[in-house]
Amino acid sequence: MKNITLEIIAEITQDTGERQVIDMTTEGSWYEKNGAYYMTYDESEMSGMAGSRTLLKIKDQVITMNRLGQSHSKMVFDINQAHNSIYHTPYGDFDMKIITKKIDMAIDFQASEGYLDLEYEMILEAMSQSVNKMTIKVRPSYDD
């Protein structure tokens, strides 16, 4: 397991036109298992998910994001297929649909550096719809 630094920039545009940008830097871990690469990091108050842990799995061109904590979800980003799941919150469970529009990544897994760009549409139980763009920049952490 390698320590990494992640810079995460997320842009969320609601169907109402409201736009939110989150830009945070955090420490995390990086490892390989059974032909897939994993990144894990703790969320912060800046993301609105303090106390949650995020695990990203990268295998081929499919990215799976699991968030665990008070609210938890599983989001699958696959350019070839929309994915449905449940978003669990303290206020109830909501059906969630992810439609991936773009996956672009250039990561040197051995050097633990590079970037991952995602663009996707998220629909929460026909109540909320947003277009999301997320860039994750990864670099080795030298705090060891």
Q: What is the pLDDT of residues 17-42, one digit of tens each?
A: 999 999 999 999 999 999 999 999 98
Split at pLDDT 50, 70, 90, the class of 48 is low
Give the domain 2-140 fold. Answer: Lipocalin (2.40.128)
Model pLDDT, residue 11? 96
| pLDDT of 49 above 70 | no
Between the alpha carbon of residue 128 and those of residues 40, 97, 110, 124, 134, the distances in Å are 27, 11, 39, 5, 18
CA 9/CA 135 separation, integer angstroms = 5
* Residue 28 CB neighbours (<10 A): 22
Q: Over pLDDT 70: what percentage of the chain?
A: 93
Strands 2-14 and 19-33 come out as antiparallel
CA 6/CA 114 separation, integer angstroms = 10
Return the higher-pLDDT residue of 78 and 109.
78
Strands (E), the chain: 2-14, 19-33, 36-42, 53-59, 62-68, 73-78, 83-89, 92-108, 113-124, 128-140
Which of 14-18, 44-48, 89-93 bottoms out in mean pLDDT, i.e. has the lowest? 44-48
Burial classification of residue 47, based on how many CB atoms lie within 10 Å of its CB (0-12 exposed, 13-18 middle, 19 or more buried) = middle
Residue ranges per domain, the chain?
2-140
Split at pLDDT 50, 70, 90, the class of 69 is confident
Model pLDDT, residue 80? 87
CA 125/CA 111 separation, integer angstroms = 40
CA 62/CA 98 separation, integer angstroms = 13
Model pLDDT, residue 132? 97
